[in-house]
Structure 1
């Protein structure tokens, strides 16, 4: 079988069970021209093969160099199904503090930094009496989070970009404070709220890592330094909300 015959053979394989008319209509080909090619009345030379590849949507060279093989040629010819990677959950309901909770909802409070009146400019982290978010109980259950142990934190600055831009909100499971390397946690660092990716260090220390490592270097603290600097792991981040 010479190369021109191989191209015709590959073309027949591409057609599969379709008739010449169906194949021609699908790829906007002249049915008479296609018939002449398949019947050997026209030569399927290199130039004609290249033109045909473009019309059919094949990778360049699939017919010009048919050593690509039957299986690959068939795969290239089949229309690919588009796979969805998003789910429409429905319309967004607008609510405020006076909107009653649904049966499957709970309020999750925010943590905030509060300046101590006699603290010399120092802060402490505490629950905000005003800020809160509504969460579905099923959402928390899927993450293994007890509603009473869930809090929210607002991320400030660019250290966690691009994953968490300035102003992002994260949900924190305060019931999970044991560090799993590479997971994200909320940390009380001497009264300052911080969200970082944490890694364990020998002797009980930790490494804090930002996503924006070009501007924010890793920070390492020994167990003793954690005590001195009042570094407390508040909980694991299980949810985030980002406005772009």
Structure 2
């Protein structure tokens, strides 16, 4: 099922017509027609607007991942909590918390053939132990880094923080991984291909087409770990 089929499926489930999509997304009739017919795909804010209109996630529209879960119509999917609890480096950890290293400036060290990340400063991010346990993440193998660029839009914006589990390097098709590719730290979706190669995929596939890593190129390609979490703060421009 491609994106146009997923769009049509949600339209049928919600009894929506093309004119409804035009009104709710603000896109033109021509753009909606192209999306529904599969001649083009929405991106950026258009993708988010369409996902809100169809009551599904942008990721599901793009990939169909977790289709049964992400395409269901749900209500009351958020709960209000009155404010944030403030803390600093001197605030002690609770019994149910763990602090993961946060590499705000990331460098990949080379020279001896090994790959490791050098920490700049003493930044930490706090996670509930129960949260990591649900994802089967051992804190001793976890760290957080920032993503740069727009190759993973709309899922990962520039400046998004991601959590990486360095103990999980086996490729599961369609999952996101942090990789060392020719000395560059990158976050991409990975797929296995026949013959032992790897397909490297970006969400922003129009601007960043798939890359194929052949078996004889593996010496310049290393999987650092599986991306188990991501978060980003939006900026209010008034």
TM-score tier after normalising by the smaller chain length: 0.5 to 0.7
Asked if 1:238 is matched to 2:219, the reply is: no
For residues 165-224 of structure 1, give each alpha carbon's deviation from its aligned partner in whole angstroms, at most 9, with x where no partner exists. Answer: 000001111121111101111111233211001101122221111111111111110122
Question: Higher strand proportion, which one?
Answer: 1
CA change 1:186–1:89 in 2 (3 A) is: farther
The offset of 1:131, in angstroms, is 2.4
Distance 1:89 1:204 in 2: 48
- Alignment correspondent of 1:176: 168
Structure 2 gaps of 5+ residues are 1-73
CA contact (8 A) 1:160 1:210 kept: yes
Is contact 1:113-1:191 (8 Å) kept?
no
Residue 196 of structure 1 corresponds to which residue in structure 2? 188
Aligned: 1:114 with 2:104: no
Distance 1:132 1:219 in 2: 33
Equivalent residues of 2:171, 2:190 under 8 A apart: yes
Written as runs of structure 1 = structure 2, the 5 A alignment for 1:1-244 is 83-89=75-81, 91-111=83-103, 112-114=105-107, 125-128=116-119, 129-227=121-219, 229=220, 231-244=221-234
Q: Distance in 2 between matches of 1:143 and 1:224?
A: 33
CA separation of 1:171 and 1:115: change in aligned 2, threshold 3 A: closer
Q: How many residues align?
A: 157
Q: Which moved more, 1:127-136 or 1:189-198?
A: 127-136
Q: RMSD of the TM alignment (CA)?
A: 2.3
- Gapped regions of structure 1 (runs ≥ 5): 1-81
Residue 61 of structure 2 corresponds to which residue in structure 1? Answer: none
Q: CA deviation at 1:125?
A: 4.1
Secondary structure of the residue aligned to 2:133 is: helix
Question: Shift of the alpha carbon at 1:115?
Answer: 6.9
CA contact (8 A) 1:110 1:127 kept: no
- Given the two structures, how large is their TM-score scaled by the length of structure 2? 0.60
Which structure is larger by alpha-carbon Rg, 1 or 2?
1
Check conservation: 1:125, 1:192, Cα contact below 8 A.
no
> 2:108, 2:185 within 8 Å by CA — same for their partners in 1?
no
Q: Conserved in 2, the CA contact under 8 Å of 1:109 and 1:127?
A: no
TM-score, normalised with respect to structure 1: 0.59
Distance 2:230 2:82 in 1: 19
Distance in 2 separating the partners of 1:191 and 1:98? 35
Q: 1:191 to 1:90 in 2, by over 3 A?
A: farther
